[in-house]
Chains A and B, each alone.
Chain A
Amino acid sequence: MDAVAATRPDPAGAEPDPAGIVRFDRTERLVHWTTAVLVLVLLATGAAMYAGPISTLVGRRELVKTVHVLAGLALPVPLLVGILMPRRGGGLRADARRINRFDAEDRRWLRPRRAARPGKFNAGQKLNASFLVAAGVVLLGTGVMMRWPGLWSVDLRTGATFVHDWFAIGVALSVTGHIVLALRDPIAFAGMRRGVVPARWARRTHPQWYEEVTGHPADRLAPNPQRETGVRR
């Protein structure tokens, strides 16, 4: 894919870097993949305790429960360690700040059939990331209530189970969508595996970020794709 950028010289000479742009540093990738493994373990063990047909296949409720609880308690560790590392956590902290802020482009992105110029993350990615952080907090809290039930009234325990179930369904849907979109955009997927994306991809899908990084205008390619869908080669 790096060759793609190299063989497409820009008429204005604005294609700055055939080697690509760093999108995620090592810390961010480590945090992403350790968290991904934990989330998949949690979804699998959770499904084994929750969905009848899977429960009947897997059984071993005591073991499944133990693995689920341990993975759940470990869930926040990679992100917290990553974000607290004084020097190596810089990229992660910067991206967290980006995800937090919504500008006019983000609001435009959310409106159907309006061309938008996303920054490093589009509004969908920002909202999804915020949802997942909240879901992690809620699932961990309600999970602790379910695991150590003696401290709570029966109504609160029932409420915790209720909330845990619904947020888990939300996370399952979100993660499924995340994986589907990653598989549909191999360049974005490679960006999380190797950390680097071609400048041309950045320019098309994240034009504001492209400008921020390279100092070159991104608007030559028209029309600007509104969302990151479809495979680009």
Chain B
Amino acid sequence: MDAATAPPGPPPGRPVDPAPARPTGSPVGRRVVLGLVGLGAIGVVTGARVQDFLERTLGPVIAKDGTGVTALLPFGRFRIYTVTGSLPSRSPDEWSMRVGGLVDTPLRLTYDDLRAMEPTSLTRDFQCVTGWRVSDVAWRGVRLADVLDRAGVAGAARAVRFTSFDGAYTESLTLAQARRRDVIVAYEMEGSPLSRAHGGPVRLYVAPMYGYKSLKWLDGIEVTDRVVPGYWEQRGYDIDAWVGRSNGRDDEAT
């Protein structure tokens, strides 16, 4: 190439990449782009059904996969949400829980105290308000109602507030919600002690509500005279978080 014909800019003596003459060949690039964008649009419209199908057919397989490889696929699994910088850590020996507020006898329960209470088990779906759902999760713990009865709820009580040893997360239930038989203080999931990532050693599990009500790393229960909005509720989520009847969602009830 003659240096004189090169456009200004690059150093002299270096042949410049010339613009290609007339484009030749078929516009495969454009077809690929349009095709994939179309595929994405179809996916948005049908994705809920496809996801549902995948979770029903492959979800149980993935839940039992010990290698953890399939855990990276986007269905049939828990996503771990934490609102603070690091994952809180407390061993069962270090753990204890205050039960206070409007109660007859404020308590401090240890892990062994909790284990000594009458256990209850339930197997229910876990539904996150962001859309993912894990089918048939087996939980074990004690009924929240039993814990409340042990401390004795005072007459002025209307609600229960929960705190986490992550130092930031809080949740609330009305007293009637807290007394439901499917609201438990859980210490086992899928037959094993609750792991740190899943809120261990002890968490709340509110079966009929979206996951954000099931506070992880539980360390405090306070009986109050009114509902105090929790962490996500101060950020716009519904306080009464029934699955399928709140947050503008219509998921199948858990």
Residues of A within 8 A of B (CB): 16-17, 19-23, 25, 49-52, 55-62, 90-91, 94, 97-104, 106, 119-120, 126-127, 129-131, 133-135, 137-138, 141-142, 145, 149-150, 154-163, 165-167, 169, 196, 199, 209, 212-215
Report the count of interface residues on B (CB-CB < 8 A). Answer: 59
Chain B residues with Cβ under 8 A from A155's Cβ? Answer: 47-49
Give the shortest distance, in Å, between A31 (CB) and chain B (any CB). 15
Q: Contact between B15 and A17 (Cβ–Cβ < 8 Å)?
A: yes
Q: Does B119 contact A (CB under 8 A)?
A: no
Q: Does B61 contact A (CB under 8 A)?
A: no
Q: Contact between B37 and A138 (Cβ–Cβ < 8 Å)?
A: yes
Chain A residues with Cβ under 8 A from B50's Cβ? Answer: 162
- Complexed CA–CA distance, A142 and B34 (Å): 16
Give the shortest distance, in Å, between A62 (CB) and chain B (any CB). 7
Given contacts A134-B32, A142-B40, A161-B131, contact A50 B13 (CB under 8 A): no
- Complexed CA–CA distance, A101 and B23 (Å): 7
Return the chain B residue nearest A91 by Cβ: B17
- Complexed CA–CA distance, A98 and B28 (Å): 11
Q: Contact between B84 and A213 (Cβ–Cβ < 8 Å)?
A: no
Return the chain A residue nearest B82 by Cβ: A59
How many A-B contacts at CB < 8 Å in the complex?
Answer: 190
Return the chain B residue nearest A142 by Cβ: B44
Q: Contact between A102 and B29 (Cβ–Cβ < 8 Å)?
A: yes
Q: Contact between A52 and B80 (Cβ–Cβ < 8 Å)?
A: yes
Taken residue by residue from 3 to 17, chain B's Cβ proximity to chain A (1 for < 8 Å, 0 otherwise) reads as 000000111011111
Give the shortest distance, in Å, between A70 (CB) and chain B (any CB). 18
Q: Does B51 contact A (CB under 8 A)?
A: yes
Given contacts A52-B71, A56-B82, A103-B24, contact A213 B32 (CB under 8 A): no
Chain B residues with Cβ under 8 A from A91's Cβ? Answer: 17, 19
